[in-house]
Structure 1
Amino acid sequence: MSHASAAAVWGMPVLGPPLARVSTTDPSRMRTHTGAHVTRHAARLPSDEITRHRGLVVTTPARTAVDVALTGTRSQAVAVLDHCLRRRLCTLDEYQACLLGRDRVRGSTRASWVAEFASPLAGSAGESVYRVALDGLGFPAPRLQERHVDDEGLIGYTDFGWEAYGVYDEFDGFVKYLDREMRHGLTAEEIVVLEKVREDRLRSLPYVNRVTRTIWRDLARPQRIVTRLERAGVPRVRTANRARHRD
């Protein structure tokens, strides 16, 4: 198994609807073939890029991340490589070595860009996708997971920050409110109250001008992101890159 199918086996984020076909790589094939249930990719597959995971024969994390970057969108590719770096499934050097070993030209520019853009500091697939959206919309690159303290001690870490403008942005999925394990015994209501207290402490810091929040739904409505951040004081440093935004 390879590509998005291998990503799913490794527990990497797979964006979009459920996979309609299983992806495999067969180095004996001359051309890639897509059937009703299986896509058989034709590509070189060195033995050191194959392993077993959960009882299945799959491509290694680095090879999987490269395959996704060569064939998927920027958002999907960054989400996968961010996850690999965060979970230490592979290193950036392993990813780049695997990419250099590929004989595929199509998609290589995107895959190289992903290597430069990826970060182990992205805390979730949503944060990865949001970072790609911000880049495509022309906003300056934010600082990730910045630590904040006040007289009471550690407040926490903000997902995104533009220190020059005093603006900090939190990406909110709903899992932390709905998943019992992530709530650590607290109710959803208690989580909301704690978030409010945390946000009030952040706003009281002398260098914080605004705290904004982004949710998954906003990613489908980029103008909302533009309006909110520009009103908060974050300027766009270049015009939106439509190709990246569509990704």
Structure 2
Amino acid sequence: METPPLILSSDLAQLGQDARGLARQAKSGQLRRIRQGVYVRAQEWEALTPWDRYPVLIRAAASTLRSRTVFCRQSSAALWGMPLLGHRHVVHACTTDDGGGRSRAGVRRHFVDLDSVRIEERHGLLVTDRVRTALDLAAFESFEQGVTVLDHVLRPQPDNLAPLSREELYAGIDGNYTGAAARRIRAALKFADPASGSPGESVSRALMHRLRFRLPLLQIEIRDARGFVAFTDFDWPDEHLCGEFDGLAKYRKPEYLQGRTPAEALTDEKRREDRIRATGRRVIRWTWSELSSPGTFGSFLAAAGVPRQQLPSCRR
């Protein structure tokens, strides 16, 4: 989606114009103030999804900071197109001040030895490279966030970004993180699987692991007498059980619709599921609502009959 242009009060001041008019337009609802001295047209801002607003906030920060800034963590991830969990994120940037971790001017700073970090340019802004960005999220955010971003970078991307290898990710750990952070990264990296098809599938699998449900096989091909039926998101073959994460947004994406209307896509999905059930499998479906908390998802899986992991037997 096209991002709205930024309207800067400093630009008007340089032209000798009264920037106070921007504040009046914001008060009347014509503009939306997204950062001190930075505005966008309110109608354009409201049209953005929460995840599309975050890169605009990063650009707004970059436009008002005195020196050119290197963005990191969630901010770098957003500019690389990596999936972020949640909708509210502050802007994150590097600092060479070893008292990092402080917020200043609406930007959270993190100490980084820039001589040890590869810096790249993305959408006109400086960011930590993909390896460091992915590892930072695995090190400092939840296990679910770490798995989601590592699943993502291990597979080819639609914008021609090559997948990262496990070897280069493991190589980026030593010397850059504390022992505890390195253990968190390695746990997420060991668990990561590029076969996961979406952030919702990654979060689902990570929560299954956390909640000690038996892990499913991914993207299993199902066929019937008529031929190919589907690849299922999750499959527990011993239980004849399939699981499908339904992000709902896919019914609005052109690459999924392939010229169909959302209603036609839903009808096709129903026929696909009927054919899966006809092979003797049960099919369970869930959305982001069931993933809202570990307890909610655990209750859903248990009620659906998803098997638990078997605990190792104790030897006498």
Same fold (TM over 0.5): yes
Distance (Å, rounded) in 2 between the aligned partners of 1:155 and 1:146 = 11
Could you tell me which of 204, 213, 218 is aligned with 1:139?
A: 213
1:82-107, CA deviations, whole angstroms, 9 ceiling, x for partnerless residues?
A: 11112344211111111123143342
Correspondence list, 1:86-105, <5 A: 86-87=155-156, 88-105=162-179
Change (3 A) 1:4 1:223: closer
Q: 1:222 to 1:37 in 2, by over 3 A?
A: closer
C-alpha distance after superposition, 1:111-153 (max 9, x if no partner): 1100111111111111111111111221011111111112222
Identity %: 37
Residues 117 and 132, structure 2, Cα contact 8 Å, conserved in 1? no
Does residue 1:42 correspond to 2:111, yes or no? Answer: yes
What TM-score, normalized by structure 1, do the two folds share?
0.87
The answer to whether the 8 A contact 2:120-2:126 is kept is yes
User: 2:122 is matched with which residue: 53, 58, 74?
Assistant: 53
Distance 1:24 1:224, change over 3 A: closer
In the TM superposition, 1:172-183 aligns within 5 A as 172-183=246-257
SS in 1 for 2:276: helix
Looking at both structures, which has the greater relative contact order when contacts are Cα pairs under 8 Å and sequence separation is at least 6? 1
Query: Between Structure 1 and Structure 2, whose CA radius of gyration is higher?
Result: 2
Question: Size of the alignment, in residue pairs?
Answer: 235
C-alpha distance in 2 between matches for 1:155 and 1:29: 57
Q: Give the CA deviation at 1:39.
A: 1.8
Question: Is there any run of 5+ residues in structure 1 with no aligned partner, and where?
Answer: 240-247
The aligned amino acid for 2:183 is T
CA separation of 1:190/1:238 partners in 2, compared to 1, >3 Å: closer, same or farther? same
Q: How many angstroms apart in 2 are the aligned matches of 1:183 and 1:225?
A: 28
Sort the Cα spacing of 1:171 and 1:230 in 2 relative to 1 into closer, same or farther, 3 A.
Answer: same
CA distance in 2, matches of 1:42, 1:106: 17
| In 1: Cα distance, 2:294 partner to 2:274 partner | 27
Match of 1:150?
224
In structure 2, the CA distance between the partners of 1:89 and 1:56, relative to structure 1 (3 Å rule), is farther
Give CA deviations for 1:7-34 in whole Å, capped at 9, x if unaligned. 00000111112322x21223x3212122
Counterparts of 1:76 and 1:229, CA distance in 2:
20
| Alpha-carbon distance between aligned partners in 1 of 2:200 and 2:306, rounded to the nearest angstrom | 20
- Report the alpha carbon displacement of residue 55 of structure 1 after superposing the two structures with TM: 2.0
TM-score by length of 2: 0.69
Q: Contact 1:61 / 1:89 at 8 angstroms: preserved in 2?
A: no
Bigger mean CA offset, 57-66 vs 105-114: 105-114
Contact 2:75 2:92 in 1 (8 A): yes
Contact 1:2 1:23 in 2 (8 A): yes
* Aligned pairs for 1:67-86 within 5 A: 67-86=136-155
Q: Which residue of 1 aligns with 2:79?
A: 9
How does 1:197-236 map onto structure 2 within 5 Å? 197-206=271-280, 208=281, 210-220=282-292, 222-223=294-295, 225-236=297-308
Moved more, 37-46 or 227-236: 227-236
Aligned to 1:30: 98
How far 1:231 sits from its partner (Å)? 4.5
User: How large is the RMSD of aligned CA atoms in angstroms?
Assistant: 2.0
